[in-house]
Structure 1
Amino acid sequence: MWAYILAHENAVPLWRSLMGPTKVFRARHTDPDSIRGAYGLTDTRNTTHGSDSPASASREIAFFFPEFDERRWYEQDEPRLRQGQVLYSPQERVHRLLQADEAEVT
């Protein structure tokens, strides 16, 4: 199992749209290109989970990532990420600011 924190304006509805309907049978017929429509097996084995609200997301983030300080992220990290080039670190599995001495990978 992998757990991620997705950060984006309107992240909850965007992610829920990509996942597709919770019921796999419905997803297969109404949204077959969604994650659940393409890969879900049953309603309890539907391949993915997403919070249903920002409040639920905060609770679930605290559960899966107890070391993550959401308030600090919004106050310090998020504004900095909006200002600079972002680099994904596969080793850390996080996005971070591109440092001045790092060339942008294209």
Structure 2
Amino acid sequence: MQRTLILLKPDCVQRRLMGRMITRFEEKGLNFVAMKLIRITPELAKQHYAEHVSKGWYPTLESFVTGGPVLAAVVEGLEAIQVVRDMLGATSGLKAAPGTIRGDFSSSQQMNLVHGSDGPDAAKREIALYFKPEELIEDAPTLTKWLRAADE
């Protein structure tokens, strides 16, 4: 079982797409183990996007991500990191394949609705930025046995 962070960004929240995004992740069989509506501060944005702070386009990214509420969540499932990344599609909504979240709902590089951790190290670091260990719920839905074989 693997966990990853997802952020439903301000454009997703403002466009009233949160329910549709949550539904897509749940329909895929991912289990939500933490969720909260927050405002990302400039300090948190700098921690989250540390590798981008020195880039010329970072101020625009920070302004966007701090500009409205964000739904932060942790999902769990088999190969959850790659599953979420595949569901999101290419970073630019214009280049994302139809059927992906960004391909279906975005036409922007920056306003691309949802963030998903890009690997195990990033997932661990990002989850710790947004959630305390006691905020992560340990629970397997009763329908799990109908979503994957017992030996997976």
Alignment TM-score > 0.5, same fold: yes
Matched, 1:4 2:73: yes
Contact 2:93-2:112 within 8 A present in 1 as well: yes
- 5 Å matches for 1:15-30? 15-27=84-96
Matched, 1:85 2:142: yes
The runs of 4+ residues in structure 1 deviating greater than 3 Å are: none
Higher Cα Rg, which structure: 1
Distance 1:68 1:45 in 2: 29
Q: Which runs of 5+ in 2 are unaligned?
A: 1-69, 144-152
Query: What root-mean-square deviation, in Å, do the aligned CA atoms of Structure 1 and Structure 2 show?
Result: 2.3
Q: Deviations over 1:51-78 (max 9, x none)?
A: 110110011100111x2259x97xxx3x
Q: Which has the higher contact order (CA 8 A, sep 6+)?
A: 2
Matched, 1:59 2:125: yes
Distance 2:88 2:110 in 1: 14
Between Structure 1 and Structure 2, the one with more strand by share is: 2
Deviation at 1:45, TM superposition (A): 0.3
SS at structure 1 position matched to 2:124: helix
Distance 2:133 2:107 in 1: 32
Identity of matched residues, %: 31
Matched, 1:33 2:99: yes
Give the TM-score normalised by the residue count of structure 1. Answer: 0.60
Q: Which runs of 5+ in 1 are unaligned?
A: 87-106
